[in-house]
């Protein structure tokens, strides 16, 4: 008589993956609060673990060090979520790319920038200041800067492809102008230090960029005020 065939139980990793996602979300949330409340230097990984209700080992399993945790908090604050979707594939960026008018492209992008700036500019400032004393934080700050420069390179190409910018501007010119006005220092000066409303900051950037790049159909001014 044949022996009954034993069924092979398949390992279900879905619960483990869900638990890992939950742990990551708890760590990011706790770290975001602590970093902004206490600063980079005075926030420790054990403290993040306690705030998240997890073991230190669990935190280190997800993030190798505090600088990597800072970068992850920043990335989530920029995207608005922790989904693995590149910014270039997100609806807001694809909408900007699909817009044929250069001035409208600028306005749409600045509205998007101003909407997210309150979430992530304080983290950029935190990384910049921490970079002076911490090598790992310096690496994260340099990475943030390079990622912005890369994004502005793509945006410059997109704007130039409309054929509506000043004829004398090169891709590098447009990229550098965009990168400068995108800098957290402008938000820090105008909003955090001088107390400008976000809408005024957005309108300033729209007007400044449109004037600097000179789209011939400059119809994008003052639209951010209606959007934010």
**List of residues 6+ apart from 211 with CB closer than 8 A:** none
89: which DSSP letter?
G
User: Once rounded to an integer, what is the mean pLDDT over residues 117-133?
Assistant: 95
Are 108 and 153 contained in the same domain?
yes
Tell me how crowded residue 146 is: count the other CB atoms within 10 A of its CB: 10
Are 108 and 219 contained in the same domain?
yes
User: Once rounded to an integer, what is the mean pLDDT over residues 33-56?
Assistant: 95
Are 96 and 169 contained in the same domain?
yes
Of 142 and 223, the one with more pLDDT: 142
Are 90 and 4 contained in the same domain?
no
pLDDT band at 206 (very low <50, low <70, confident <90, very high): very high
Task: Report pLDDT for 7.
Answer: 58
What is the C-alpha separation between 62 and 27, in angstroms, rounded?
Answer: 9
- Pair 105, 221: CB distance under 8 Å: no
Are 56 and 90 contained in the same domain?
no
Are 94 and 38 contained in the same domain?
no
Are 40 and 146 contained in the same domain?
no
Are 138 and 175 contained in the same domain?
yes
Would 81 be classed as within a structural domain? no
Which pLDDT tens digit goes with each residue over 73-111?
999 999 887 777 778 788 889 999 999 999 999 999 999
Residue 219 has pLDDT above 70, yes or no: no
Percent of the chain whose predicted confidence (pLDDT) is above 70 = 89
Cα 82–chain centre separation:
11
List the one residue out of 23, 102, 116 whose CA is nearest residue 62.
23
Would 174 be classed as within a structural domain? yes
Note down the domain range covering 219: 86-227
Q: pTM here?
A: 0.84
* Mean pLDDT over each residue of the chain, to the nearest integer: 89
What is the C-alpha separation between 114 and 107, in angstroms, rounded?
Answer: 10
Task: Report pLDDT for 222.
Answer: 45
Task: Report pLDDT for 218.
Answer: 47
Quote the number of domains for the chain.
2
Would 102 be classed as within a structural domain? yes
37: which DSSP letter?
H
Which pLDDT tens digit goes with each residue over 148-158?
999 999 999 99
Which pLDDT tens digit goes with each residue over 5-27?
555 555 567 888 888 889 999 99
CATH number at residue 173: 1.10.357
Task: Report pLDDT for 46.
Answer: 96
Are 115 and 19 contained in the same domain?
no
């Amino acid at each position: 008589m044949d022996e009954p065939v034993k069924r092979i139980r398949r390992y279900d990793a879905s619960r483990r993956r869900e638990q890992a996602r939950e742990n990551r979300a708890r760590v990011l949330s706790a770290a975001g609060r602590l970093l902004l409340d206490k600063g980079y230097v005075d926030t420790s990984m054990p403290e993040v673990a306690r705030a998240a209700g997890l073991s230190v080992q669990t935190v280190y399993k997800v993030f190798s060090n505090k600088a990597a945790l800072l970068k992850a908090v920043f990335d989530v604050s920029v995207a608005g979520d922790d989904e693995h979707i590149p910014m270039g594939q997100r609806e807001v960026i694809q909408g900007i790319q699909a817009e044929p008018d250069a001035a409208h492209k600028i306005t749409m992008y600045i509205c998007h920038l101003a909407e997210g700036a309150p979430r992530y500019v304080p983290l950029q400032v935190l990384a910049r200041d921490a970079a002076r004393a911490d090598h790992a934080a310096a690496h994260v700050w340099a990475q943030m800067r390079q990622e912005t420069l890369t994004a502005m390179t793509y945006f410059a190409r997109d704007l130039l492809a409309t054929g509506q910018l000043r004829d004398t501007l090169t891709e590098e010119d447009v990229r550098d102008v965009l990168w400068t006005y995108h800098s957290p220092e402008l938000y820090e000066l105008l909003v955090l230090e001088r107390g400008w409303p976000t809408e005024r900051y957005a309108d300033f950037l729209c007007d400044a960029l449109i004037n600097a790049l000179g789209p011939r159909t400059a119809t994008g001014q003052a639209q951010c005020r209606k959007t934010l």
